[in-house]
Structure 1
């Protein structure tokens, strides 16, 4: 009898092992489906390179503007990234819908974009970056948007010294861009030396090897308004 009990016990254990392991592959618990990556949002308002004259005026200095974008697929939340182009200060706002009301400065240029996020996924998707001017009290003509570097790219390293063409891009909602002053210095994060003035969006300069250069662009319009870019940096081997 003891031998029979032992055989029965082994049979019960084997059955339990099969049950716990799910038996064959057809009876097991299916693997969880991966979370699909979010898709980039399409921006709607404020429109790119325009004056924003909508929103709730709070004071002579501030207004509340509702940023809007198309809802994107596989997205649970959005991060609105907003840069004050006068101060280069950055703020972010989280929204679970496709809009966000944000208090911003009047008569000020801004840059904005939206990042889509999904719960359970480490992947994100970013929209294009748009620029606009938030309308100000009694402002009839706005300064150009601050220039952004095209070449050399910020933080890049050039392999050849000699003559290069500094290149940048900008825009003006009034359409009256007039000229650019370009400042360039070696090993000085606050360049004060005027490399040249031009009506084009490029300027040829001479650079030396084993040097780090810093440059900045002042954009001017026909009404006498101007804007100052960030300081861009590149190295020469």
Structure 2
């Protein structure tokens, strides 16, 4: 029997439909919902600018103690990363936790800075808490050295407009609240050794010229003659 082209086309279409060959390229399946970004945690303990005296002294090394860091849980968070920096040595460590606390063994009689990063499964977005500084209590310490000063103006790595002078500004704190003065070193050397001056205020004018890069640091002194030295700050002038 002779099959006409019209009948052949109908048979082909029926065969394709029976074998799943119909055009179904459109996928109506909804995409998975986006993972919400985590929010920032709020630090609880140790609090900023305080002495931590709740650590459990190590039974094998009296120079160390175990401190339980605590923070308020943040929304849309699966894990927390505790970032801890030894201010004396400028070394940092990281610890992970699935709860809103973490016990970490650290040096006694030492200043630290810490903050928490919130993370969520299914997204690379993170959120960081504010930073806090504290002293981990040490044996026989009655008065603690000030925390190292931090640059306010110019900010670290900033480029400022051309001028003949700049007002250097910094922030410093001491858990004993007995800072008595600051000594500022300033110049174009990467390790400035020229003393710009001393002051009881947290700012000092410095002469500058266009096109130069300047470096500066601050030594903070308290009433017991304890001192701390800041990192070296840098800024450029247009």
TM-score for the superposition, normalised by structure 1: 0.92
What secondary structure does 1:10 align onto? helix
Using the alignment, how far apart are the partners of 2:14 and 2:73 within structure 1? 58
The equivalent of 2:132 in structure 1 is 130
Using the alignment, how far apart are the partners of 1:194 and 1:83 within structure 2? 28
The equivalent of 2:204 in structure 1 is 203
The answer on 1:189 being equivalent to 2:205 is no
Using the alignment, how far apart are the partners of 1:156 and 1:14 within structure 2? 69
User: 1:120 and 1:12, CA in 2 relative to 1: closer, same or farther beyond 3 A?
Assistant: farther
List aligned pairs for 1:155-166, cutoff 5 A.
155-166=157-168
The correspondence for 1:83, drawn from 65, 85, 95, is 85
What RMSD in Å do the two structures reach over aligned CA positions? 1.8
What secondary structure does 1:109 align onto? strand
- Residue 99 of structure 1 and its aligned partner are, at CA, apart by 1.1
1:150-170 Cα offsets, whole Å, 9 max, x none, are 000001111213111000001
- Residue 8 of structure 1 and its aligned partner are, at CA, apart by 4.0
Using the alignment, how far apart are the partners of 1:127 and 1:19 within structure 2? 52
Structure with higher Rg: it is 2
- Residue 194 of structure 1 and its aligned partner are, at CA, apart by 0.6
The equivalent of 2:108 in structure 1 is 106
Query: Post-superposition, which runs of at least 4 consecutive aligned residues in structure 1 deviate over 2 A?
Result: 1-6, 11-22
How many residue pairs end up in the alignment? 232
What secondary structure does 2:13 align onto? helix
Using the alignment, how far apart are the partners of 2:181 and 2:97 within structure 1? 40
The answer on 1:7 being equivalent to 2:10 is yes
The equivalent of 2:43 in structure 1 is 43
1:11-55 Cα offsets, whole Å, 9 max, x none, are 353573568446xx8xx2111100000000011111111000012
TM-score for the superposition, normalised by structure 2: 0.92
The equivalent of 1:33 in structure 2 is 33
1:66-85 Cα offsets, whole Å, 9 max, x none, are 11111111111111111111
What secondary structure does 1:93 align onto? strand
What secondary structure does 1:11 align onto? helix
Using the alignment, how far apart are the partners of 2:119 and 2:15 within structure 1? 49
Structure 2 residues without counterparts, runs of 5 or longer: none
